[in-house]
Structure 1
Amino acid sequence: MQVLAIDDEKIALEGLTDLIKKALPDAEVYSYRNALKAVEELEGKHIDIAFLDIEMRDINGLQFADHLKERFPKINVIFTTGYSEYVGDAMDLHASGYIMKPVTLEKIKKEIGDLRYPVEDAGKKKDVLRVQTFGNFEVFKNNEVLHFQYNKTKELFAYLIDRCGARTSNGEILGVLWEDDANPERKASYLQNLRADMMSTLNEAGFSDVIVRQRGTIAVVPDKMECDLYEWKKDRNSASSKYTGEYMNQFSWAEYSKGALE
């Protein structure tokens, strides 16, 4: 479930965001003080619920709700305001709810429990993408192995994991995945198939936000997954991310990273 929270007052937004996370601990919450910035940065996202203040400096919340409903016809808009005179306008927009400030956890839970458009995954445990790099490289959705169509796709994803979120060009990937090929550029069309397979597999598994692409580069988003390498870098004494001297054993190029780890 993806939730948007907008209020141009910093303290009010922080309080609202905190309450939403308490009410929906598995939800992804996007918080903004500027509605226009939210429009720009949330391109490609699907928003299930939007908590909107009405009186804002950059745009009126009612107008912004109109915009959101054009993009997401079944979005649940819940207004949070200190003004009761907008109730009629909110109902004309077929809003899901109307919360008079101060916003409380009880008020949020009440509105979430009576959404105009019920969200299918509400209350369900969120799926987890787990990546294992120590020993053999493997990718899991919850506790089940995630299978790609091509074996080489798995190696592509492994290299992006190894890059730890750094943006990587096609040229670099070609040079690494086909390091023994005198002319790796010949594999460019094959690489496009691998990228398509990777994106399709992750999207179908529910992890569409794990990969970012921009200006001819591609990268993973480390905080969208559980990964022993990333956990180890944060806390090398963590039992859950214990490094035992083995790292992505299947791939020869991983020896360089293994040397750095040691």
Structure 2
Amino acid sequence: MINMFLNGLEESKEINPIIVCGAARSGTRMVTDLLNEHPEIAVQEEMHAKTIESFFAFLKNVDDVYDHYSERKGRRLDGSWNLSKAAFAHTFFACANKKDCIGTNKSLKFHGIKTPGYERYFEEFESVFSTLLPHYVYCVRPVAKVWRSWRSMGYLSDLEVFKIRYQRSLRQAIKIKASAASRFVLFDLESFVESDNKEQFVHDNLFSRLGFGEKSVRLASISSLPNRNSLKNRGREYVKDEALQEEVALLEGCTKIREFKEKLGLVAV
């Protein structure tokens, strides 16, 4: 099935890599569902960090082997290997994620993967896709709501550890924006939720940023997209205790988080 949209190396060279990332509980699932509404985009489901790290380690090992034998031969031997890496990575995204491969019935312009935290692998993605460089869709949400979700889901109970991780994610997003501004898309989940015209918002802040025209896709089906909210699916409710209110006040008063978000072009924390 995967070969239906990866028919050889030549075709895969024309597929733009796309990485949907951001701090967990910041809207990566919603953005992935929106992107997958497009007939020329397929974003695969999440992949464990150790899985993608194993893949990057494998690529490095192969590179090292080619370096060794190229040095012995006195000429480069990895021309074909370097040209094949992008196709290999696309196939890996399609095969090694948590769910079945999607997009096999599409003629793809963009193909990639969605996983919170993958912004930290920016340099690795840039290296793998050195010919046709990736686009990055970074999802962001008010820090208080992210923390409430983390606490409610049981991800973490230590506020200071959360701040470190959240700020690290924002710093990496700033780095990507500075290094690859034309390929960096910031999707503000709160602005999307509050928008009166969600179809237009998605076009202006997502599809047009990826180079698609006004009529590239109709999103009238936004309201009918399935609710994949992890809290509801797991039968949980948001935490509403007094400690949370104090923690929210601390986060909303954090000057470093505010500074990082302003650098990304956001005003609200």
What range is the shorter-chain TM-score in? under 0.3
With structure 1 as the length reference, what TM-score do the two structures score?
0.25
Higher strand share: 1
**As a proportion of its length, which structure holds more helix?**
2
Higher RCO structure (Cα 8 Å, ≥6 apart): 2
Bigger Rg, structure 1 or 2: 1
